Amino acid sequence: QTGPVIDMPVPASFNDITQDPSLENYIGWVWYEKEVLLPLRWLQDDHTRVVLRFGSAHYYSIVWVNGVQVVEHEGGHLPFEADISSIVQGSPGIPCRITVALNNTLTPHTLPPGSIQYMSDKARYPKNYFVQNIRFDFFNYAGIHRPVVLYTTPSVYIDDITVTTTSSESVALVQYQVSVVGSSFYSLSLSLRDQEGKVVATSDEPAGELKVLNPNLWWPYLMHESPGYLYSLEVKLQAQAAGALLEDVYVLPVGIRTVHVTSTQFLINGKPFYFHGVNKHEDADIRGKGLDWPLIAKDFNLLRWLGANSFRTSHYPYAEEIMDLCDAYGIVVIDESPAVGIKLPESFGNKSLQHHLVVMEELIRRDKNRPSVVMWSVANEPASELPPAAFYFKTVIAHTKALDPSRPVTYVTDANYALDLGAPYVDVICVNSYFSWYHDSGHLEVIPLQLTAQFENWYKTYQKPIIQSEYGADSVPGLHSDPPLMFTEEYQKALLGEYHSVFDKKRQDYVIGELIWNFADFMTNQGTTRVLGNKKGIFTRQRQPKAAAFVLRERYWKIANESSCLPPVIKSHALFL
């Protein structure tokens, strides 16, 4: 023990747990340690694998079990695991000691990037004083943010399943591939069941396709009276190993749906889909980015109350538990990598690029089977006008499409349409703009002209559908002014109204979505423009509505009623689910 030891909950960010201001903004290594007793049956069976899995840890992790290093992982927001069987088996009754060293330092080559700046002026700063510079507008929370679990499989086990689907009105095809590790001698049994438990298709091959007659398609929320319909694909493996019969079983939720992009539309199951949703953050009081089930449940109730059918995982992959509910509720997701704040030329070099490719591999492996995920976003607001950006994004997007040819790929830009060097490679243009906020501040009257020009310039240049992926204004709850002035609830409402008028004209043509920034207020670094964080939420950080929430609710339900074939009474009931 080389320093103070404190109790730390997992999952949680460590920053806001104590009263120590140095921990709030701490940069560097922290250590976690826990001892657990494993079940005896795990330790006495030679045919059992014991696996240690982390849902995520921010940012760089080294893990030891009983003093033996078992895994290193770079990057937050995505899972990693290690087979620890050889370390723990043969030692029944001895506690299993799990030790994690975690470093939250961001460099020009991490995702997200950052830089360490040493202050050399000894008249103004203490010796060895440094700060972590970041180029993104949310707090760099750190810690073990998602659950840590120990689980077992047989020594011959199902390692991976990949599913894609196609469908017509009367028949659907579920293409699948099962990866088995541990032996070449095994048998498989696959059963696809509907929600009533009825078997609708079977197979005994490791790869093939299942035919489903009269399928129930996976539909987004408010596009169907039964959104988020999921089948269950049960995969059973049996294998012989040293005279023992081994069995592994995995059940994968499967949504049957198709995605297609034209020059003016985004089609789900062949029908035009309009994104009316939000951008979010994993962010809350005290626990920071730590997984919080009550907060997740509250957020999904608010999303459905709002009439939101979609969100972007700004600006990193969200917890698997959140994604599970998107699949089940029919909430459409633009799944974004943690590549936010790529601004410096050195962040476009080969070292950064190779890490970015690995991150996309990890993200797609985790979320490839989710029907809610309809598009990958490889970055947010990069300096895509810099010369290296063309090759960089051409490579990342091509790699993403090679890993998953079934989904469109985008990144979110705030660059000038004429200078963006990565835009030729995306399938959908996603644009962030803050007219009358970050420039022409307070001048709501310029929004119609500037926003209309933005859409027309992008579409004329690329002939691709456009999503307004961010727009909004800060509002301090309870602050009022008439006429509307910046930071009041009235100004936020008025700004949204100006944007919506333009959206309503352009969504008749090629604008396919609008995602408000942001769903809720969230914490940022301290600064002269940030009073306890970013206040662009339509809900407060504690999930209480501002005036803008009611504006969006009225709008989103109106759009849903216009575009849906559902009887209005069903949507009225949905308000109170």
Q: Which of 81, 282, 362, 381 is catalytic?
A: 381
For the record, the structure tokens of 445 come out as 């009257």
For the record, the structure tokens of 99 come out as 């030790």
**Has residue 48 got a pLDDT over 90?**
yes
pLDDT for 574: 39
Compute the mean pLDDT over every residue in the chain, rounded to the nearest whole number.
95
91-100, 249-258, 552-561: segment of lowest average pLDDT: 91-100
The CA distances from residue 352 to 111, 116, 357, 363, 555, in Å, are 8, 17, 9, 16, 41
Q: What are the pLDDT digits (tens) for 494-504? A: 999 999 999 99
pLDDT for 437: 96
For the record, the structure tokens of 112 come out as 């997200």
Confidence of residue 4 (pLDDT cuts 50, 70, 90): confident
Q: Which residue ranges form the domains of the chain, and what is each CATH number?
A: 21-153 (2.60.120.260), 259-563 (3.20.20.80)
Helix (H, G, I), strand (E, B) or coil at 219: coil
Phi, psi of 389 (to 5 degrees): -65, -30
**Has residue 568 got a pLDDT over 50?**
no
Q: What are the pLDDT digits (tens) for 196-247? A: 999 999 999 999 999 999 999 999 999 999 999 999 999 999 999 888 899 9
pLDDT for 564: 62
**Has residue 2 got a pLDDT over 90?**
no
Q: Which residue type is seen at 506?
A: K
More confident residue, 241 or 323: 323
In angstroms, the CA 23 to CA 160 distance is: 39
Which helix (H) or strand (E) element contains residue 430?
Answer: strand 429-432
In angstroms, the CA 6 to CA 50 distance is: 29
Q: Which residue type is seen at 327?
A: D
269, HSE (Cβ side, Cα atoms, 13 Å): 21
Positions of E strands within 17-86: 29-36, 48-54, 60-65, 68-74, 80-83
Mean pLDDT of 40-51: 91
Mean pLDDT of 94-118: 95
DSSP 345: G
Question: CA nearest 94: which of 28, 167, 154, 42?
Answer: 42
**Has residue 108 got a pLDDT over 90?**
yes
**Is 381 part of the annotated catalytic residue set?**
yes
Which helix (H) or strand (E) element contains residue 272?
Answer: strand 271-272
In angstroms, the CA 576 to CA 560 distance is: 16
Q: Which residue type is seen at 105?
A: T
Confidence of residue 575 (pLDDT cuts 50, 70, 90): very low
pLDDT for 513: 98
Which are the contacts of 260, defined by CB distance < 8 A and separation ≥ 6? 266, 267, 270
Question: CA nearest 521: which of 534, 512, 508, 532?
Answer: 534
